[in-house]
Every structure is written in structure tokens, then in C-alpha cells.
Structure 1
């Protein structure tokens, strides 16, 4: 007797959290290529991963192993691709297990449309059809089920709002079908609008507010990265602007901070 093939896509924790009014937290991964970091993230309470291929030397293969492990562990993996990496690179990242692609340095509606086109299957985009995806735990759904499930749950499109051009066009970008998340890159955006390093400059909050308003207006999600050092501002972004995807610290920063604290503690134990 043969068993029926499971064709349900794995759970997307960001979507589940947002549907219940909760936030979804993410651990940034920049240097830890071993799959152990996924289990550490889960044990620490993170619901998702921000796997960074832009500012690291990690490969698509590294990202794939992290994604596959995350999916099996119930942690949702999202991958940031390098700037100007090309449509083929974006599709490869999605094909090997990312539940969403994060694209930096968007400069307007045309850039966003290109990302959506390669990230989504028809009728939303033009992504090439394949089979054997980690998002389905390698089961083989029918093409229509695969395309519909991937478009809705397994290939979320994160448009980074971190340039002045993208900020000025944020309402039009948010209106695009297939744009799922407006993700603020805090460091780059603050640099672009001339407020870095003054995080309390009203212009920075106004920029965040513009992104939040666009997301609400068009029924999209807002995310924020690079602001974990200012929990006071993050609290406002979450509670006043409704941000749902919150990227916390990266592995390298957390290891450095934890190591420094532990080293200082040990040294403080010796009497002078």
C-alpha cells in the first residue's frame, strides 16, 4: 500500500505571527556557517533567521544548509542576497530553501518590480518552474499547488527601504502586488538621509513613519533591521508603526559582546 505524498508547504513563522498580531524575531547570521547556529537560535527563542549573503563570504551552499536545517527545526529562514547579484542568484537562493529573499539597495519601483518578477511564479511574476524544494520537504505537489503555495508562503519578497530614492517611492513600492515586506535597513537609511549617528533626529523617525504608513495602507508587513541597539526606538516602531519582523543581533556581534562580558567578569574576580 502506498502512502499519500504530503504537499503542504512548511509553516512561515512571520506570517503566522503577523496574523495573530505578534512580532517575529530573527537572528542575524554572518559568520557561523555550521548548522549548529540554527539550533542555538531556536533554543534562544528566535522564530526566524536573517541569513546574510551581502556582507559575508558565505555561499549559496552555506545558505542552503542553514535553510534546510531551519525548516526541519521549525525556524523560518530568510536570505539577504548581495547588491546587483542578478536574477539567477535570487532564484537559486529561493530554490535551495529560503522562505523569502531580502534584496538591498532598491532605488525605486522599477528595481522592486524586477525583484518581484524573479521571486514569484506566474501570474504575479515570471519565476522559472522547478521541483524538489526544501520548503515542501522535497515532496512533489502539483505545479499549480506549488506555484500558489510558494507565491503566498514560501517566497516572501522583502524590499529593503534603505535609500533616499526608495523612501521617496515607498508608497508606490508598497502598492506592488508581490511586495510582501518593507524592510528598513536602519544604518544605510540613516546615512542616506543624513541623520547618522543621531538616532533621535526627528527626520529618522519621520522616515520610519513613512514606511510604516505605506505598509499599513497597502496591507503589507513592515520589518526593521540594524536598530537592536536602540530598544526604545524599536518599541515605538513595533507598537506605534506595527512592525512585525524584528531583526536582532548578528552572530558575530552577540559572540563578541558575550565574550567581552565574560572576559571582563573573569578578570574582575582577582583582588587587586
Structure 2
């Protein structure tokens, strides 16, 4: 069984550094992420046109490279879609726009095998290099470390229900979706606003109370707030940036350097 870097890093007192992929579909993006030192790849099927074939290839390359692949699925995509993503090599599912306990329970049900959920069993999974593994070994391993349930906190209703959602058995990570949450709160991009910082504190408190993992996403331009979330609030999973954002930043910097050549 390949290891889950999120759980491994937490056990060693370290954060899990993730890169998001929503544009680049070639294996090279995973190899570059590995060389850079990322621990996890966040494959985005919600805000992209990536196919399941793209996702499977990226997951397989991640697994072979020792990077843990988590996949964000589209909102309300259904049990069958989640099944295909997991069978395609994902080590965890990111569920966006979860607002209620019932939705969180459904997310667990779709992701975990019985008795914890209702995931369907198949053989020859990429997580095991397509080797045959007995069900009595596969099910407890995948349930415990190979099918992480990541709930995105990005609605006001989710904030209102956060303690109850954090108490749901099988939910492992509460992931701040900074942009959508600030949009719902009516303070889009106002990272200094008291409503936003109160939301951060509320999520962190629920995580501690429920014994879950705190993750942050969307704060790519605010390393100061990310540092506060990690060092003060205890965040352990940090989405550093998306591939398209990193490319844009690097290209803009490069053009500045080139433009300065003739000045």
C-alpha cells in the first residue's frame, strides 16, 4: 500500500504541501512537483475541463512518484462518478460546497467501503500497482489511509453547521475554500475583514473539537495569513497554488526581466 503523505507528514509534525492541477495534463507536471518538493497533488475536476482519463494518468504518475493524489470532484456529481475517480487512483476525494451533516455523511458513504460506507469493491487498483490484493487486506487499508474524505468549507450554511459536520465519522479534513467562502460572506477577497478571520477561527475550533485535520486553499497571495493558519490555528494541509497560477506568475516575472534588458 502506497503511503498517504498527508497522514505521514502530520505524524512527523509537518505540513502537507500541495500543488493544484487544472490545466496541465501531461505527466511532467507531476515529475516537476516531485522535484520541487510537493507532498500532494490536488487534481481539480470541479473548475476545469480535465477528463477522467487525464485524472487517471495524473493519479498513476503521482502514485509512482510518491506524491499523494487528491481529486476535487464537481458539486453533486453523484456516487458513480466518485466511484470512478477512486478506482482511477485517487487517494482521497475533495467534496466542494458541502453545507449540511447529511451531505457530509453522504460524502463518507460514497468514499468508504462497508461497514463505514457503501463504496463498491473491485480488483486491480492503481493504488496497488494493479496487483491482486485480498479484500480483507484492501478494505481496511483503503478505508483508513487510501480514501481521505476532504470537506470544503465554503458556504455560510457550512459554517453554521461546522461543529456537527466535524463530528461526522469518516470525515477527515475540513478544507477552507477561501474564495467561495469570502464570496458567500459578502467580502470577496477582503482577507483582513473580521468576518473572514472569525471564519478561520471557527473552522480551527471545530477541527480541534472534532479531532479532524485543518486545510487551507485559496490564500495564494497571502502567505502571512497562511502562516498564521499553520502556526497559530494548526492547519496541516496547504494548497500552495494551481498550475495555471504558477505559470502566470513565472511568465509575468520573466517578461519583466526580458523587458528590462533594453532599458
Bucket of the pairwise TM-score, normalised by the shorter protein:
over 0.9
Q: Which runs of 5 or more structure 1 residues have no equivalent in the other structure?
A: 1-8
Runs of 4+ in 1 over 6 A off after TM superposition: none
Aligned to 1:158: 150
Separation (CA, whole Å) in 2 of partners of 1:132 and 1:166? 37
Over the aligned positions, Cα root-mean-square deviation in angstroms equals 0.9
Shifted more, 178-187 versus 212-221: the winner is 212-221
- What do residues 197-240 of structure 1 show as CA deviations (whole Å, max 9, x unaligned)? 21101111111111111111121101111002101100110011
Give the Cα–Cα distance (whole angstroms) in 1 for the partners of residues 159 and 134 of structure 2: 39
Distance in 1 (CA, whole Å) between partners of 2:170 and 2:231 is 25
1:18 aligns with 2:10: yes
Aligned residue for 2:70? 78
CA distance in 1, matches of 2:41, 2:84: 18
* Residue of 111, 118, 130 corresponding to 2:110: 118
Where do residues 207-222 of structure 1 align in structure 2 (5 Å cutoff)? 207-222=199-214
Give the Cα separation in 1 of the matches to 2:245 and 2:189: 19
SS of aligned partner of 2:86: helix
Deviation at 1:195, TM superposition (A): 2.1
Deviation per CA, 1:123-160: give whole Å up to 9, x if none.
11111111111111222221121110001111000011
How many residues are treated as equivalent by the alignment? 263
User: Which residue of structure 1 lines up, in the alignment, with residue 248 of structure 2?
Assistant: 256
CA distance in 1, matches of 2:219, 2:85: 26
SS at match of 2:240: strand
Matched, 1:247 2:222: no
> 1:64 deviation in Å?
0.5
- Tell whether 2:120 aligns with 1:128: yes
Q: Where does structure 2 lack aligned partners over 5 or more consecutive residues?
A: none
The 5 A counterparts of 1:37-48 are 37-48=29-40
Partner deviation per Cα, 1:71-111 (whole Å, 9 max, x = no partner): 00001100000112111101110111000000101121111
Residue 52 of structure 1: aligned partner: 44
Match of 1:3 in 2: none
TM-score (norm 1): 0.95
Measured after TM superposition, the shift of residue 44 of structure 1 is: 1.1
Listed as ranges, the matches of 1:163-242 within 5 Å are: 163-242=155-234
SS at match of 1:125: coil
The aligned residue for residue 97 of structure 1 is 89
